[in-house]
A and B are shown apart, each in its own frame.
Chain A
Amino acid sequence: GAGVSQSPRYKVAKRGQDVALRCDPISGHVSLFWYQQALGQGPEFLTYFQNEAQLDKSGLPSDRFFAERPEGSVSTLKIQRTQQEDSAVYLCASSLLDRNQPQHFGDGTRLSIL
Chain B
Amino acid sequence: SQQGEEDPQALSIQEGENATMNCSYKTSINNLQWYRQNSGRGLVHLILIRSNEREKHSGRLRVTLDTSKKSSSLLITASRAADTASYFCATAYSGGGADGLTFGKGTHLIIQP
Contacts and interface: CB of A to CB of B under 8 A. Distances in A.
Interface residues of B, number: 26
A35 B98 CA distance: 12
B103 A44 contact: yes
Given A100-B30, A102-B45, A42 B100 contact: no
A66 to B, nearest CB: 17
Contact of A105 (B30, B44, B100, B106): B44
Nearest to A46: B100
Interface of A: 4, 33, 35, 40-48, 55-56, 58-59, 91, 93, 98-108
26 contacts: A33-B99, A42-B4, A42-B105, A43-B43, A43-B88, A43-B101, A44-B1, A44-B2, A44-B103, A45-B99, A46-B100, A48-B98, A59-B100, A91-B42, A93-B43, A98-B99, A99-B100, A99-B101, A100-B30, A100-B92, A102-B33, A103-B43, A103-B45, A105-B42, A107-B40, A108-B41
Chain A interface SS verdict (over half): loop
